Amino acid sequence: MRDVARRTVLTAAAAAAVVAALPGCAAPFAGTRLRLATGSEQGVYFSLGSALAAAWHEELGLAEPPLVLSTAGSVENVALLAAGAADVAFSQIDAAVERLAGTSPSDPDVPRALARIYDDVLHVVVPATSPLTTVSQLRGARVSVGAPDSGVSVVAGRVLDAAGLGAADLRAVQLGLVDSVAAMVAGDIDAFFWSGGLPTPAVAELAARLPIRLLDLDHDGVLAAIRASHPVYAPGTVPAESYGGLTTPVTTLLVRNFLLVRATMPDALATALVRVLFSEQEAVARAGPAALTIDPRAAIGTQPILLHPGAKRFYRDERG
């Protein structure tokens, strides 16, 4: 596992006044310190994670803002969580499920879920002027398949396999979102994979600079093939209004996203984190509209990842 390259400490305007004391007692989580593993600074994980960290800081009376870790994405996040180097992690379902292989349900390193938060949408981005129209046409092309240790790299490999392509069939490079966008603007790549919420800010900014298209996964049977081999994915659509320049909806994959913690997190803390996720949902959604889709009824759909007991308590109480 590579070192965490960048650590961004969030500051909140109300930091000096945050629950210095509840009347007659100390804030119950005043001594709690949290590290939150997110993703690229231009991605939805980071935007939502930063907003969540600010909400947790203020609402729970934490002594200091949670540390927001900019990472490669899901695979690294799950590894950081297992190693005790992160306390909360964003992850796609596929990367989280891979972590379960060969483990026991009682293993403290096995992740537990706080919530299903929203669904990622797979993007296969090409310039609008590109002759490429299907994934199978990527043979021989210069393609960014996502950063090492990212969830993007997991789903990209599976999509390419479903299209009958392997690493030797294309000129693949492993770039994160920011570097993929820069490489496309420079003309150094023909396509890149990205899995993120709608709209992803960096992709929207790219579309404003360079007209783009997204490859439709239904055109060459890729969608059916990958769902047959990996049923954790669901079909989805990118509406044309998601990015400037798109003229028609695009059929693609949906990938469930979870907020994960270690099994050893105290139940009361897990309950409090979920409570703030929902009580401050509107504020979090201002940082990332994907947060608007978080719903208590859908949030429990984390199978095969088990809900943390503290999260279960919140949902049980929420439903009465």
Closest to 223 measured CA to CA, from 239, 240, 235: 235
Closest to 242 measured CA to CA, from 234, 250, 233, 232: 250
Q: Which DSSP helix (H) or strand (E) runs through 8? A: strand 6-9
| Answer CATH for 120-255 from 3.20.20.70, 3.40.190.10, 3.10.20.70, 3.30.50.10 | 3.40.190.10
Bin 149: left if φ > 0, else alpha if -120 < ψ < 50, else beta.
Answer: left
Closest to 265 measured CA to CA, from 49, 118, 114, 78: 114
Residues whose CB falls within 8 Å of the CB of residue 186, separated by 6 or more in sequence, listed in order = none
Q: What pLDDT is recorded for position 103?
A: 72
The gap from C-alpha 48 to its chain's centroid, in whole angstroms, comes to 9
Does residue 70 contact residue 146 with C-beta atoms inside 8 Å? no
For residue 22, what is the DSSP state?
B
What are the Cα distances from residue 208, in Å, to 48, 197, 212, 242? 23, 18, 9, 12
Closest to 57 measured CA to CA, from 85, 77, 27: 27
- Around Cβ 24, how many Cβ atoms within 10 Å? 5
Q: What pLDDT is recorded for position 247?
A: 92
Separation of first and last alpha carbons in the chain: 42
How confident is the prediction along the chain (320 residues), in pLDDT tens digits per residue?
444 434 433 333 333 333 333 333 457 999 999 999 999 888 889 999 999 999 999 999 999 999 999 999 999 999 999 999 999 999 999 988 887 776 776 676 789 999 999 898 999 999 999 999 999 999 999 999 999 989 999 999 999 999 999 878 999 999 999 999 999 999 999 999 999 888 888 999 999 999 999 999 998 899 999 999 998 899 999 999 999 989 999 999 999 999 999 999 999 999 999 999 999 999 999 988 888 888 899 999 999 899 999 999 999 997 55
CATH of segment(s) 6-11+30-118+257-318: 3.40.190.10
Sign (positive or negative) of CA dihedral 153, 76, 93, 250:
negative
Length of the chain measured in residues: 320
Token pair of 40, please?
A: 């690229």
Which residue matches tokens 């913690």? 261
Q: What does the alpha-carbon distance between residue 90 and residue 77 come to, in Å, rounded to a whole number?
A: 7
- Residue range(s) occupied by CATH 3.40.190.10 in the chain: 6-11+30-118+257-318, 120-255
Does residue 192 contact residue 160 with C-beta atoms inside 8 Å? no
Q: What does the alpha-carbon distance between residue 56 and residue 273 come to, in Å, rounded to a whole number?
A: 7
